[in-house]
Amino acid sequence: MPVAQRIERFPAEEEVRGSNPLGHANMAFSTPVSKIPNIGSSYESKLKNLKIRTVGDLLYYFPSRYEDLSETTSISSIYSEGRYTIRGKILRISTGRTLRRRIPFSEITIKDGTGEMKAVFLNQPYLAKNLKEGEELLLSGKASYSREGVQFVNPYYERTKGMYADIGITPVYPETKGLSSRWLRSIIAPLLKTLESKIQETLPKEVIKKKQLYTLEEALKEIHFPRSWDSLKKAQERLSFERIFLLQLFLVKQKMVLGKRKSVPVDIKIKEIQKLVSDLPFDLTNAQKKAAWQIIKDLEKDFPMNRLLEGDVGSGKTVVAIIAALSVIKGGYQVAFMAPTGVLSRQHFDEISKLLWRFKIDVGLLTGKKDKLRSNKLKGDTLEISRKKLVEKVKKGELSLLVGTHALIQEEVKFKNLGLVVLDEQHRFGVEQRSKLCLKDDGRVPHLLSMTATPIPRTLTLTVYGDLDLSVINELPKERKKVITRIISPKKRKEAYHFIGKEIEKGRQAFFICPRIEESEDNESPWAGLKSVEKEKERLDEEVFPDLRVELLHGKMKSTEKEKVMKDFKSKKIDILVSPSVIEVGIDIKNASVMVIEGAEMFGLSQLHQFRGRVGRGEFQSYCFLFTSSHTGRTKERLKALLESDNGFQLAEKDLEIRGPGDFVGKRQWGSPDFTMEALKDRELVEEARSEAKEVLSQDPELKEHHLLKRRVDSLEKKFHLE
């Protein structure tokens, strides 16, 4: 766990480049960083690159880790691998490039009173200019063995010149070119000292008292310059709770606002639903029946349904959505069915049309390219139609169901009587965005059904989808065969290729997934050495399967090209489809029986499980091969979990345990530090934050008594993206 300097150990005025902390007297959280002494236009621009525009942004820019420099070890006593901190003077400095990968580096030899050792800084040749021989440093890092003895690789370093004699633990911030942790500390320290006793509290006093939390002022001091490990942990707990509490306030408030809006109540059409279900070529699972019932009961209410339908790959979510759509259409309203890609939209269009044309329901497809209409008058055939005519039919109410991409929310698309919006694959929209689909001026909002094929742990469901009611399909159709999964080492590749060839000889098809579209130019990147989609396609085509038809599909291709490839693959004109994760979302090829995943260690368990779910959708036994050259314990643990379970919900919990919440909600989207992301694993904490949020809003629904809290919640709507 991280630690840092004490707040009392602020640099003296002359140590902060002559700045006077009293010059910060009028500072507030909203003050632009340009008003901070010693921040010119150059530093202001660099801070903006880190999305730091105000004093508040700067104080909420937390360290990513901490180096404990309080206990030093003599060089002569370092005889085993491990983490150490040493204090010594630079004896020699040199630069060069590594032999194999030609990575530039700086190398210093440092000595203390007991001996000397080397420290290598990869990709940091500039250090040779920044450091000087004879200069004293504190170095902290992991010692490892080389031919020349023990050494550090990319250790953290601090100059001791001008340093406080009792320095112990130092915060290290996410850095960018020209903004070092040392510089950030020198700016943040006097700000905190000047703002002492002026920092306005965000959380209600009763919540702080009840939860025994640090005040915001205490937490900000301790997160940047903590007194101890314990004080740091308490600061992290306070700031984690604050972040989760604000989100829960936002979500609960959104739910309350939506609950006050009006929607169209739809009577349950039992006979039509029974007829649709009896026409299905399979029996609904109990989980599908339960989810469908929850949804159609919601549709009866006069306020908007806001429900998430969560189900494993191939669990039959679309059929449940079609049951809801049928009920809405037979009630006299229209349905919009939105999917993230043109390929998936066309797939839904085909499936929905096939199931609904016997009910005399016309279905349209609007994707931005070739628009289509499948009408009852056409007896199930599809007609290409101009966008103008299709949009006109929607506007007049002559078209009951429109499938499409984001083209559905364009200004020109107006529904006469929209009753239900179905959003596939986690593409969530707020009330304001959904209202773009409404033509009526009476303020009514259509019912909303979101669907996701990524099972999300309960803790994160409360956090990410806290404003939605939840329906879960946790059963797979009985007729689906279990996909046989194997981890393939480099030595077993030829054997696996031979097996795949035999499968294709039987008339089957295969997917090959690669983690990149192009080769990585960065030798230090975690992607370095992994196969690119283009290179892999070329290799498979020319070397491994020269007699088979190998084709490429990726997101950078034009829509028309992607459509042709998918059409050819579906019609069996292609044997092997090489792709990045573009095929993860919803593509259904029943004849495909082999899934190969290159660089399997680079994907999350939930994502790997979704890839695996793209095969085994037909009558044939299917296989998933996980190609990896990684031998780490973490990789083995994760991939072994995939072998042992085909339950997406269990794997999601395991992924949360191993990789953390960032794999589900996207750390970069959240803009949250690691300790907040880790806190999302704590279901009890999330539920407590939600409970406190409900309590505050029950007493003060508009947050009129909590002005600062209201501003923070309102700002979340602009900054927080959960799509």
pLDDT tens-place string over residues 375-404? 666 555 677 888 889 999 999 999 999 999
What residue type is 205 in one-letter code? K
The predicted pLDDT at position 380 comes to: 58
User: Helix, strand or coil for residue 495?
Assistant: helix
477-486 pLDDT, tens digit each: 877 788 999 9
Spell out the residues 6+ positions from residue 326 whose beta carbon is closer than 8 angstroms to its own.
Answer: 269, 272, 273, 276, 356, 359, 361
As given in the structure block, the two tokens for residue 426 are 């986690």
Least confident of 4-8, 137-141, 427-431, 515-519: 4-8
Residue at token pair 């890092």? 141
Choice between 607 and 612, residue whose per-residue pLDDT is larger: 612
Q: Are 219 and 235 in contact (CB under 8 A)?
A: yes
pLDDT of residue 672: 62
What Cα–Cα distance (Å) separates residue 220 from each residue in 193, 214, 389, 544?
Answer: 11, 9, 59, 58
pLDDT of residue 557: 81
Place of tokens 């001091």: 221
Residue in the block written with tokens 């491994």:
544
Q: What is the DSSP letter of 332?
A: T
**Alpha-carbon span 637 to 658, nearest angstrom:** 9
Q: Say what the pLDDT of residue 584 is.
A: 47
Q: Which of 211-215, 518-522, 711-715 has the lowest mean pLDDT?
A: 518-522
Longest dimension (CA), the chain: 93
- The reply to whether domains 270-473 and 484-645 share a CATH topology is yes
CA 625 to chain centre: 25
Q: What pLDDT, on a 0 to 100 scale, did the predictor assign at position 427?
A: 47
Let me know: does 570 contact 614? Beta carbons within 8 Å: no
> Secondary structure of 155-173 in the HEC alphabet?
CEEEECCCCCCCCCEEEEC
Tell me if residue 552 falls in helix, strand or coil. strand
* CATH number for the domain formed by residue range(s) 270-473: 3.40.50.300
Higher pLDDT, 517 or 144: 144
Mean pLDDT of the residues in the chain = 82
Name which of 289-298, 418-427, 686-695, 700-709 the model is least confident about.
Answer: 418-427
**HEC secondary structure over 377-417:** HHCCCEEECCHHHHHHHHHHCCCCEEEECHHHHCCCCCCCC
The stretch 469-498 carries a mean pLDDT of 89
Rounded alpha-carbon distances, angstroms, from residue 284 to 115, 319, 369, 477, 666: 74, 9, 34, 8, 34
Q: Which residue has the higher pLDDT, 2 or 217?
A: 217
Q: Looking at per-residue confidence, does 667 or 151 come out higher? A: 151
- Tens-place pLDDT, residues 334-385: 999 998 878 788 889 989 998 998 898 989 999 866 777 776 665 556 778 8
Strands 149-153 and 136-146: what pairing? antiparallel
Quick one: 176 exposed, middle or buried, by C-beta within 10 A (0-12, 13-18, 19+)? exposed
Query: Which of the four pLDDT bands, split at 50, 70 and 90, describes residue 586?
Result: low
pLDDT over 60 (residue 98): yes
pTM of the model: 0.74
Q: What is the pLDDT of residue 10?
A: 33
Residues of the chain above pLDDT 70, percent: 85
Q: Residue 604: pLDDT above 90?
A: no
Give every strand in the sheet of 334-338, ordered side by side. Answer: 382-384, 372-374, 363-366, 401-404, 334-338, 418-423, 447-452, 306-311, 469-473
Distance between CA atoms of 703 and 711, rounded to whole angstroms? 9
CATH homologous superfamily of domain 72-166? Nucleic acid-binding proteins (2.40.50.140)
Enumerate the domain spans of the chain: 1-70+168-199, 72-166, 270-473, 484-645
Pair of tokens at residue 10: 């602020």
Res 222: pLDDT: 93
Helix, strand or coil, per DSSP, at residue 502: helix
pLDDT the model gives residue 666: 57
In the predicted model, what is the mean pLDDT of residues 435-462? 74
Pair 68, 141: CB distance under 8 Å: no
Q: Residue 594 — very low, low, confident or very high, per pLDDT cuts 50/70/90?
A: very high
pLDDT above 70 for 165: no
Nearest CA to 298 among 309, 284, 311, 312? 309
Protein fold of 484-645? Rossmann fold (3.40.50)
Burial of 261 (0-12, 13-18, 19+ CB in 10 A): middle
> What's the confidence (pLDDT) of residue 467?
79
Q: What percent of the chain has pLDDT over 90?
A: 35
Q: Which tokens hold the place of 29?
A: 């959280």
